[in-house]
Structure 1
Amino acid sequence: MSLNFGKVAVLFGGTSAEREVSLRSGQAVLSALVAQGINAIAIDPKIDDVTQLKAQGFDRAFIVLHGRGGEDGTIQGLLTYLQIPYTGSDVLSSAITMDKSKTKQIWKSVGLPTAKYQIIIKNHYDPSQAKDILKELSGTVMVKPVNEGSSIGMAKVDNVEDLNKALLDAFKFDKKVLLETWIEGEEYTVSMLSGAALPAIKMATDNDFYDYQAKYQSTETRYYCPCGLDDQEMQTLNKLANAAFSSIGCQGWGRVDFMRDTNKQWFLLEINSVPGMTETSLVPKAAKQAGYSFEQLVLEILTQTLA
Structure 2
Amino acid sequence: MPNKRPRGPQPDWRPKRETLRVLAAVDVVLDRYRDHLPVSLRQLFYVLFSDGVLAKTERDYKRMCEYVGMARRSGRIGWEVIRDDTQIAVQAPQSFAGPADFWGTVKAAADEYRVDRQEGQPVRLELWCEAAGMVPQLARLGSGFGIACFSGGGFDGLAGKHDAARRAVAGGVRTRVLHLGDFDQSGEHLFSSLAEDVVAFAAAGGAEVKFERVAVTAEQVAAYGLPTAPPKPSDHRSFSGTATTQAEALPPDVLADVVRVAIEQHRNPTAHRAALAREETERREIQNQLRNWPGRE
Which TM-score applies when normalising by structure 2?
0.31
Q: Name the structure where strand makes up a greater proportion of residues.
A: 1
